[in-house]
Structure 1
Amino acid sequence: MTGGGDWQRDLLRELTGEGTESGGGAAVRPRQSASMPESASESPSTSAPASTSPAPASGPAPSPDAPRRPAPAPVSHPTIDPRLAIALGRPQHGDPVTRRAGAGLRRLASSAARDVSRLTELARELQQPVTTGRVVAVTSIRGGVGKSTVSALLGRTLGHYRHDPVLTLEADAALGTLPTRMGAETVRWSCGDLARILTPAMQLTDVTGYLVPVADGGWLLPASQGRVGAPLDVPTYRTVTLALRRYFAVTVVDCETLPGEVARTAMDTAHARVIVAPMTAEGIHGTRQVLDWLARLPHSALSTTVVALSAATPDATIDARTAAAHLREPGVPVVTLPYDRHLAQGGPIHTAMLAGATRDAAVHLAAEAMRRAVRVR
């Protein structure tokens, strides 16, 4: 893990012009046990000792050490309102028919050995063994640039290639879209719910019972049930990530946008960072400012950072090569995610329907992130 939390305050001043109290040093709240003695369900008159009279209604509150009735389990909620789900339509393939046909012809004419060698090298990076759980944090300087989409692509790519457990965790204080993009039909347990019941005695099989399985492999933990409520806070985020790191080899964290408190904490404690930059003039300019600021920090945060340059429209006028070269100048790798009709459609991501260039970019981005995450000791 990287050290120090001072850079969080500096980042907030750089981006907003104000100072704030860093969330990196927040204390973790004590968790309540999920277990409950059977006597707790009895009435006060039967559960109280014989020598003690029931306390009057106006008497002092019960002792904090006394058994408490456990909170009811949350109810499952659909990620997309059933009335809206019918409007999604049929998923589109990322590549049109003509491009898919042309790609097939190119594969026949190209060197199969070269393609296999490249894929083998990337797969080796993705499958690197880890001694402790690695955390890859994904964020951006503003919303609506594809941050959750990139997180979903990373989580599904790592879950497909790795043979050990992979978790994709939503740490967005707003109503994020990660569960929908990951293909979850319903969500039940959230980060806040799990933080209250996690205990050191729990096994992986116990923990996964509270998570959402992902089609390509791996697991998902949402930040909320898609309802307006209390936002995810720093103590809850720390409690969950510190506890779950011993169960999962890699955790991909879909953070809120910078300079949010949870995002700054996640970026400070992650082993690798992915900053999603939109392929627009203002998006590239703002991301470059963040990279320049990271380069001036005393610790090597820049050495564990990767930029995902995302194109949200096929009509982008900015030259992708020039934009990528501008972002590479501070010394970070840049992976370009091309426009993809399937991703632009919204809704669940179907890996088989992604454009070939998108799948290649997702594997490349995941390999770059894992290379940096494993490098940190």
Structure 2
Amino acid sequence: MAGESDWQHALLRELGQAAPSRPDLNRPGDAGQALDPARPPTTSAERQAPYAPAPRQDHNARLPGPVPQSVPTMDPRLAIALGGPRHGDSIPRRAGAGLRRLTAPAGQEAAEQTRLAQEVQQPVTTGRVIAVTAIRGGVGKSTVSALLGRTFNHYRHDPVLALDADAALGTLPVRMGAQAVRWTCADLAQILTPAMQLTDVTGYLVPVADGGWLLPAGQGRVGAPLDVRTYRTVTLALRRYFGVTVVDCESLPGEVARTAMDTAHVRVVVAPMTAEGVHGTRQVLDWLAQLPHSVLTTTVVVLSAASPDASLDVQVATAHLRRPGVAVIVLPYDRHLAQGGPIHTAQLSRSARDAALQLAAEVMGRAVTVR
């Protein structure tokens, strides 16, 4: 196990600081700190300090064309209209959940959270790519990508990248809380070289407020979508710098989405909690089963509820989607997620945080088994 983590320590040594020690999940203090996504880890400052952009060369000199300018991810007027973030649960639901926790068997919930945290923290020998897609837009694909990116960054000690591989109007930068974007996938495809170090690469990325990095597909303008060649160039080059890369793909059957699904270590398919959404997602699973190399054992379906009044029978839907080897995770309705805009972990409902951790553990458990 120690040999597997040498790759992560080598990356951090480039920045002049060894990787911080993992929390001791057997000690109550460390376990509580590691398991509460709403609270930053005690080593938050230490974790973010080595990842601060410190370019060793002039970035502008690398780009053959004009240097891009920073562009806001959201019109300030819309940000005002969005208002303050709502909590994922109403006050009565929060009060009821608190009472249930008081009456639950002592230690049972903590033990399960500890187990899931250990799954998420598994070391990897090479960077793992997780592709997230759906049968159509607007079903929560970028939301799930952002939740995965934030969860991995909270629990893991190696660099985590959220990569937007959607068309130019993707919403991942907004969901990740980025105020502005500048360098895009197409820009990096022209710049990346094998000699670049992590500190060089991060100078082109957007640092996420609670840690981790973001690379947008575009600057929010209608234009040519990301092409397959650019996607392959960027993902193959960045895998050696980041322990986990979460890719927010375009919707199927887009060419980049099909390429990402075929080449990723793990595939996450987001299905809306509707009859037609479940039916279409089952067709995607049937297609994945027919690929030259079976990928169902590295596929996870997220059944996402966009309304508190969803009437679809969850058990029937889950059974319809559960092909051999496929895991199904239910992401319940959350008022904070439904509001749109940046995701604030502290505002998520307890059930949404638990689902995000369960999803991250399921994904990482499958990712580490892939060579």
Task: Judge same fold: TM > 0.5, yes or no.
Answer: yes
1:89 to 63, 83, 86: 83
Look up the SS of the partner of 1:86 in the other structure: helix
Question: Match of 2:153?
Answer: 159
Separation in 1, partners of 2:59, 2:343 = 34
The Cα RMSD (Å) is 1.6
> Contact 2:298–2:325 at 8 Å: present in 1 too?
no
Deviation at 1:69, TM superposition (A): 8.6
Question: Match of 1:216?
Answer: 210
Unaligned runs of 5+ in 1: 1-32, 37-67
Q: How do 1:324-339 residues align onto structure 2 when only pairs under 5 Å count? A: 324-339=318-333
The answer to whether residue 236 in structure 2 is matched with residue 242 in structure 1 is: yes
Q: How do 1:132-211 residues align onto structure 2 when only pairs under 5 Å count? A: 132-211=126-205
Look up the SS of the partner of 2:107 in the other structure: helix
> Contact 2:168–2:224 at 8 Å: present in 1 too?
no
Cα 1:35–1:279, aligned 2, differ >3 Å: closer, same or farther?
closer
Question: Match of 1:16?
Answer: none
Separation in 2, partners of 1:300, 1:70 = 41
Amino acid at match of 1:119: Q
2:301 to 299, 307, 316: 307
Amino acid at match of 1:339: Y
1:316 to 306, 310, 323: 310
Separation in 2, partners of 1:167, 1:186 = 17
1:295 to 289, 294, 304: 289
The answer to whether residue 327 in structure 2 is matched with residue 362 in structure 1 is: no
1:167-187 deviation per Cα after TM superposition (whole angstroms, max 9, x unaligned): 000001241000000000111
Deviation at 1:373, TM superposition (A): 1.0
Q: How do 1:92-131 residues align onto structure 2 when only pairs under 5 Å count? A: 92-131=86-125
Q: TM-score, normalised by structure 1?
A: 0.80
Q: TM-score, normalised by structure 2?
A: 0.82
The answer to whether residue 347 in structure 2 is matched with residue 353 in structure 1 is: yes
Misfit runs of 4+, over 4 Å: 33-36
> Contact 1:295–1:330 at 8 Å: present in 2 too?
no
Cα 1:318–1:233, aligned 2, differ >3 Å: closer, same or farther?
same
Q: Which moved more, 1:111-120 or 1:153-162?
A: 111-120
Separation in 2, partners of 1:150, 1:112 = 31
1:116-138 deviation per Cα after TM superposition (whole angstroms, max 9, x unaligned): 11011111110110010000000
Amino acid at match of 1:373: A
Residues paired across the two proteins, number = 314
Separation in 1, partners of 2:63, 2:137 = 40
Amino acid at match of 2:122: Q
Amino acid at match of 1:324: T
Deviation at 1:76, TM superposition (A): 0.7
Amino acid at match of 2:120: L
Identity, % of aligned positions: 77
1:320-366 deviation per Cα after TM superposition (whole angstroms, max 9, x unaligned): 12211211144411000001100101000000000100000001011
